[in-house]
Chain A
Amino acid sequence: MNAIDIKDVKVGYTKRTVIDELSVTIPENKITTIIGPNGCGKSTLIKTIARILKAEEGAIYLDGTSIQKMDTREIAKQMAILPQSADSPAGLSVFELVSYGRFPYRRRMGSMTAEDYEYINWAIEVTGLQSFRDRPISEMSGGQRQRVWIAMSLAQGTEILVLDEPTTYLDLAHQLDVLMLLDKLNKLEKRTIVMVLHDLNHASRFSDYMIAMREGEIITDGPPEEVMTKDNLRDIFNIEADLTDCPYSGNPVYLSYHLSGSDDHLPSRNDDREVM
């Protein structure tokens, strides 16, 4: 089953077309990661899926229906979005921000229902934020804030989560923390997750499916063992990577790499030290 079908979309900004005639499908109940070098159009693609950008041609289908024909609030009940630069009003508390995840379900003047509270509490619990629920978000660290935003998306109660670089600006431990949380949500709750990641090893380790882009086109898509190959990485990033298997996931990861076409390796730092 496909969660999202992207068919022949053309997207761009006022003068420049970023992606053209792009088609790809996002599998249901899986973690899909979009990778590619800077400016390859991965962010444009995910924003189009999230309906932040509008496709000039083609369409995005959610469960077989074009999102342009759907009521935006109905989409919000099926798909939650975490933009790259989410930034909340300074004094908002964790509970307050997470409760906005219930916005698509609320009537004009109605207050929150028991079901709303149930979702909010669950979202706070599953992201491990119980002890922070009344804390202003401005007093929290970057990693904790990202958890709060993820909690808000979860309170939306959607089958699909779309995240644009959820680990950017986080240190190594917090990056892993966020990805493990998403992994848990996928495994336990069967959520379909689509995201853009910069770190290839993270992408490979945590994905069921990868989409690799370059210059607005999809170079290859498939499971990590098919995408993370020496040849593909050369095509996508112009690098020669030394691949091995991740001891945790078994998926391919790179140990180190150098730029394609440059054989002149610098002497290793260890050699240097011996000379001195």
Chain B
Amino acid sequence: MTTSGKDNKRDKEAVKAVSKTARPVRGIFIIIGGLVFLGIAFMVSISLGAADIDLQTVWTALTGFDPAVSQHQIIWELRFPRIIGAALVGAAFSIAGALMQGMTRNPLADSGLLGLNAGAIFMLAISFAFFPGLPYVYVVLMSFAGAALGAVIVYGIGSLSRNGLTPIRLVLAGAAVTALLTALSQGIALYFNVGQDIAFWYAGGVSSTRWSHLAVITPVLLLMVIASLAISRSITILSLGEEVAVGLGERTMRTKLISGVIIVVLAGLAVSVVGAVSFVGLIVPHLTRKLVGYDYRWIIPVSAIVGAMLVVVADLLARTLNAPYEIPIGALISLVGVPFFLYLARKGGKEI
């Protein structure tokens, strides 16, 4: 090093200055607080529903399951898996959204808005129409393929435009492709008489989640969380802009490729459980950046927790607001998501 004050005092001051700006303490606090919140929300959510079960019974069902008690059956076979499903789906959509926003510097990126969810539904419709009774593992794989299809079409159309990919243009392409793929899925559903199977995925809901589903998606999700944390620092560097990232020695193509695979898998996985729910992946990463800053090593885990909280609460409201009927969870989240989207769009995408 050619010039520099080497005195230790300055180094200590520097460290102090970092702790003021960097936000890891807040990140840890939110992660721990979020987990506690999720624990409580789990209990409340299990006890409330079409048939209320008191917390005491919930506790005994969790600690000493008795198959003879019908309430224990409800808790274990219906409510518990659906709540875990809600949490996993929230985490998956949110991490996918955070990666998309960071990688493309597009503040309006969300798997729902950019056609990935519609692509997944389209492939689900095909698998129900042509391969009825397909094992769940293959259904999930079809969903991954569909999400990839949606992404490829939207980016393909977007990059045809002469002036390049702007956030708004991509969202427009996403809306068009979503409309097309949804129409095709509905056509397939009507023609092959699988409308009942498909309708549920448009509205979105976790009520049909079973342990057998969770056994398939949980390991995949964990793998994707680990993979996204492994590339999180590279995503931070990419979020400074492609050319800056190249200058800093980032292997941008490799990072984008890995990140693309993770996004498609997460979106496909989430859609196969809950259906085409938009806006979770849009709202949560923005909220998270406000809380923990711009380092994706923090944005990704905190997004996962916040996303899980959002969908668990949304599911609880979906079941209780108009009991015994269920409000589609997608509609409920859109109530918050649409105004938020309009707010971001008005700012012209200068947020990231």
Residues of chain A touching chain B, judged by Cβ–Cβ distance below 8 Å, are 47, 50-52, 71-77, 79-83, 85-93, 95-97, 99-101, 103-104, 106, 114-115, 117-122, 125-126, 133-134, 153, 156-157, 162, 188-189
Contact = CB atoms under 8 A, between A and B. Distances in A.
Contacts of A162: 247
Interface in B211-259: 233, 236-237, 239-244, 246-251
Interface stretch (B18-26, B145-153, B319-327): B18-26
B240 A88 contact: yes
A76 B248 contact: yes
B14 A117 contact: yes
B2 interface: yes
Given A90-B350, A91-B294, A134-B17, A101 B248 contact: yes
A214 B236 CA distance: 38
B246 A50 contact: yes
A89 B1 contact: no
Contact of A189 (B2, B17, B21): B2
Given A83-B243, A89-B294, A103 B1 contact: no
B31 to A, nearest CB: 17
B52 interface: no
Contacts of B248: 76, 100-101, 103-104, 156
Contacts of B20: 134
Of residues B2, B15, B249, which shows the largest number of chain A Cβ atoms within 10 Å of its Cβ? Answer: B249
A114 B5 CA distance: 12
A115 B246 CA distance: 23
B210 interface: no
20 contacts: A52-B242, A52-B243, A72-B246, A72-B250, A77-B249, A81-B243, A88-B240, A89-B239, A89-B352, A92-B294, A95-B18, A95-B21, A96-B21, A96-B294, A100-B237, A103-B237, A104-B248, A118-B4, A134-B17, A134-B20
B11 interface: yes
Contact of A121 (B4, B244, B250, B289): B4
B341 to A, nearest CB: 18
Contacts of A87: 241
Contacts of A103: 233, 237, 248-250
B21 A93 contact: yes
Nearest to B251: A72
Contacts of B295: 96
A99 B293 CA distance: 14
Of residues B2, B10, B243, B295, which shows the largest number of chain A Cβ atoms within 10 Å of its Cβ? Answer: B243
B147 to A, nearest CB: 26
Contact of A100 (B15, B17, B240): B240
B246 A134 contact: no
Nearest to B13: A121
B6 interface: yes
Of residues A82, A88, A99, A103, which shows the largest number of chain B Cβ atoms within 10 Å of its Cβ? Answer: A103
Contacts of A93: 21
B250 A91 contact: no
B240 A134 contact: no
A34 B109 CA distance: 38
Contacts of B247: 50, 52, 76, 79-83, 153, 162
Contacts of B241: 83, 85-87
Interface string B101-143: 0000000000000000000000000000000000000000000
A262 to B, nearest CB: 34
B351 interface: yes
B70 interface: no
Nearest to A122: B4
A81 B251 CA distance: 15
B55 to A, nearest CB: 41
Of residues A89, A97, A104, which shows the largest number of chain B Cβ atoms within 10 Å of its Cβ? Answer: A89
B352 A90 contact: yes
B243 A117 contact: no
- In the A-B complex, list the 7 residue pairs whose CB atoms are closest, starting with the nearest: A76-B249, A81-B247, A73-B249, A83-B243, A104-B249, A122-B4, A103-B248
B3 interface: yes
Contacts of A117: 11, 14-15
A80 B244 CA distance: 9
B246 A122 contact: no
Contact of B293 (A51, A79, A91): A91
A87 B351 CA distance: 11
Contacts of A122: 1, 3-5
Contacts of A125: 5
A191 to B, nearest CB: 9
Given A91-B294, A100-B240, A100-B248, A118 B21 contact: no
Nearest to A117: B14
B21 A134 contact: yes
A96 B292 CA distance: 13
A98 to B, nearest CB: 11
Given A50-B247, A89-B352, A121 B21 contact: no
Nearest to B10: A121
A96 B18 CA distance: 8
A72 B248 CA distance: 8
A71 B249 CA distance: 8
Contacts of A51: 246
A115 B239 contact: no
Given A71-B249, A119-B1, A153-B247, 10 more contacts: A76-B249, A81-B244, A89-B239, A91-B289, A93-B21, A104-B248, A104-B249, A115-B1, A118-B11, A119-B4
Contacts of B239: 89
A189 B249 CA distance: 23
Contacts of A81: 243-244, 246-247
Contacts of B6: 118
